[in-house]
Amino acid sequence: MSLASDLDFTGRRVLITGAANGFGAAMAALYAEHGASLVLADLEAEPLHAVASRLGAEALVFDQGDLASVAALAAQAGEVDVLVNNAGILVAKPLLDTDLADAARLVNVDFLGVMALMQGIGRGMVERRRGVILSISSQTAFCGGENRGVYAAAKAAVSQLSRAVAVEWGPYGVRVLCLAPGRALTRMTAETARADYSGDRGLARVPLGRWGTADEVAKMAFFLTSDAAAYVTGETLIADGGYVLG
């Protein structure tokens, strides 16, 4: 029994979406360090190519809000051993100020696009009888939150979809999981949410007394998709410093 061999991704093809920034870029660096053959995908070509060339990875530009583009990504990516469904957007608005176009865009990217890629990549995994799919949910799936109505609902949908699909694909050796991070400072939170959660008002709810980091999220994603977590499926692991307990 060797933990080191469980954490070795040599020869495994890992597809990470949203890899140009934030959590996805941190994940890419970690998988690269552990020998994975990486396919990195994002909407933003320039930062994507920068991350990919630094890590010697393939780069594929796609739009997760466009189902034809998601299908094209699944076809281009080929045989994938691990899919990290990480790309996402946030619409931080009170429900009464959320118009249907905003809501539809968020649901397209954060739920339908995630589901379509799960299908597109999962089909081959089921045929080959092996694979792991990890989708990034959110603490808001569990605790909601001010200005997070549609986002929280879409993330909860991703967690429940993963539970259901884990039952369908478990017999084929495919694990389906979620990771629900708490607040961590990335571009997403820097641009839209720091004001909402700044100072003591937000932090007072975090038993560990600080926000998380992209590196911490990346390590949990890495662990859950590794063979060290081989008997875990359907689960959403909450990595939030205890926020949802409060």
Ligand X SMILES: NC(=O)c1ccc[n+]([C@@H]2O[C@H](COP(=O)([O-])OP(=O)(O)OC[C@H]3O[C@@H](n4cnc5c(N)ncnc54)[C@H](O)[C@@H]3O)[C@@H](O)[C@H]2O)c1
Residues that bind ligand X (CB under 6 A): 17-18, 20-24, 42-44, 62-65, 86-90, 109, 136, 138, 181, 183-184, 186-189
Q: Between 27 and 125, whose beta carbon lies closer to ligand X? A: 27
Compute the least distance from the CB of residue 228 to ligand X, in Å: 22
Q: Between 61 and 126, whose beta carbon lies closer to ligand X? A: 61
d(CA 65, CA 165): 21
Compute the least distance from the CB of residue 77 to ligand X, in Å: 13
Compute the least distance from the CB of residue 88 to ligand X, in Å: 2
Active site residue 243: no
Q: Between 71 and 126, whose beta carbon lies closer to ligand X? A: 71
- The residue with tokens 């999220």 is 217
Burial level of 197, CB count in 10 A (0-12/13-18/19+)?
A: middle
d(CA 126, CA 170): 9
Q: Between 24 and 241, whose beta carbon lies closer to ligand X? A: 24
Cβ pair 172, 229 in contact under 8 A: no
Q: Between 8 and 137, whose beta carbon lies closer to ligand X? A: 137
| DSSP E strand boundaries for 56-213 | 58-61, 82-85, 131-136, 174-181
Compute the least distance from the CB of residue 127 to ligand X, in Å: 26
Q: How many CA atoms lie within 13 A of 164 on its CB side?
A: 9
Q: Which of 31, 151, 172, 197 is catalytic?
A: 151
- The residue with tokens 């890992």 is 14
Cβ pair 19, 25 in contact under 8 A: yes
What distance lies between CA 218 and its chain's CA centroid?
10
DSSP state of 186: S
Cβ pair 145, 130 in contact under 8 A: no
What distance lies between CA 167 and its chain's CA centroid?
20
Compute the least distance from the CB of residue 26 to ligand X, in Å: 8
- Which residues are known to be catalytic? 151
